[in-house]
Homo-oligomer: A and B are copies of this chain.
Amino acid sequence: MATSARQGPYFCGIDAAMDVVTGKWKSLILWELHEHGTRRFAELRRGLPGVSEKMLVQHLREMEEDGLVHREVYPVVPPKVEYSLTEHGVSLNTALESLAAWGTERMRRIGAKKVATDAA
């Protein structure tokens, strides 16, 4: 699976970036972390309605491998793990901002609806 790797030869910068962002929830996780700074596992799960725990863990692990997110484990009695963006994650998000703007424009064009979230 994606345990390690994700370094295959690329055609250009775009797919090198896409490779890291591809996955049903990756970009949304990035966005959540960007919006909230630091989030616990359960907070992320609640913030992404519809995500399965397996996928969330898996994507988080991959993004950690790719150096996008930082995982801070607190060895406390009820487990506590905090996820945050690394500098690479932050810069990726910055790079995604123009894409987000384009997507927002596209949503307006085609009249797409927004998924209701408890966020914000």
Contact A10 B96 (CB under 8 A): no
Binds B, one of A20-28, A36-44, A55-63, A70-78: A20-28
Cβ-neighbour of A117 out of B7, B11, B17, B27 (below 8 A): B11
Q: What is the bound-complex CA distance between A88 and B103, given in angstroms? A: 11
CB of A79 within 8 Å of the partner chain: no
Quick one: copies of this chain in the complex? 2
Tell me the interface secondary structure of chain A in the complex: helix
Cβ-neighbour of A16 out of B91, B112, B117 (below 8 A): B112
Q: What is the bound-complex CA distance between A53 and B104, given in angstroms? A: 32
Contact A28 B15 (CB under 8 A): yes
Contact B102 A15 (CB under 8 A): no
7 closest A-B pairs by CB: A17-B103, A13-B103, A13-B104, A16-B103, A13-B100, A95-B102, A9-B113
